[in-house]
Structure 1
Amino acid sequence: MLSFMDACMLWRRMPFPRSGSTRELVLAYGDLAGVDEHVTTVIGFVESGNFKPSQADVLGELPELMRRTERLADGATGADPEIARSQHAYAALLDLVHRQYLEAGGSPG
């Protein structure tokens, strides 16, 4: 498994996925952007040790988002399967980063 710092570095360097051509992929894109915003609290912890987790249910939202994007990839055509898989991979990385962040900061989750 990736260490917390390696996962953070990978996340911060990974380009944000595209939105796709279907309404469902655009909605997933928006939801992913919202969760990504909540996970940015990790940056303050990495840079200065400031542990202040988001009040949003990040770990509740990400598994559902991963299930949605996985289903969207299965039924998509054209470039959309790759876009859905990239959204899924990005969500999975956010999940890993946020879980490790909560562990490193001592939060019960």
Structure 2
Amino acid sequence: MDAYALWRNLPFPRSGSSRELILAHSDLAEADEYVTTVIRFVERGIFKPAPVDVLAMLQELMQRIDRLGETVSSPDQAVARSQHAYAALLDLVYRQFLELGPSHS
């Protein structure tokens, strides 16, 4: 629940100025939307995973962001770190949701 509470209260990261970070930001928003299935579970006990492999999506996204962090400008490096941290938090929240599974709904 700590990761869930943090995610729900954390502002969504900025997009940065490089094209690659803007695309990563868009993909992060899509993943965030899939992770909102966790809200139904927490608030109403409805266990219904997203129709895509969210964890694979987040792992690929974090790898992309890591590679970008080495090539973007200094201000965008902070954005890349923020996006990566947010994706890692989404990964943790969704992983815990899947581990709890329908037995807790």
How far apart are the structure 2 equivalents of 1:62 and 1:78? 24
| Partner amino acid, structure 2, of 1:100 | Q
Deviations 1:44-70 (A, max 9, x none): 101111111111110111111001111
Identity %: 64
How far apart are the structure 2 equivalents of 1:16 and 1:87? 8
TM-score using structure 1 length: 0.90
Provide runs of 4+ in structure 1 moved above 6 Å: none
Partner of 1:38: 34
2:7 alignment partner, one of 7, 11, 27: 11
Q: How many residues align?
A: 103
TM-score using structure 2 length: 0.94
Partner of 2:94: 98
Unaligned runs of 5+ in 1: none
Partner of 1:83: 79
Deviations 1:19-63 (A, max 9, x none): 010110000000000010000000010111111111111011111
1:47 alignment partner, one of 43, 47, 53: 43
Secondary structure class of the residue paired with 1:75: coil
Partner of 1:73: 69
How far apart are the structure 1 equivalents of 2:10 and 2:69? 20
Q: Bigger relative contact order, structure 1 or 2, given CA contacts below 8 A and separation 6+?
A: 2
Question: Post-superposition shift, 1:105?
Answer: 1.5
Question: Post-superposition shift, 1:106?
Answer: 4.4
How far apart are the structure 2 equivalents of 1:99 and 1:33? 18
Question: Post-superposition shift, 1:71?
Answer: 1.1
Unaligned runs of 5+ in 2: none
What RMSD over aligned residues (CA atoms) do the two structures have, in Å?
1.2
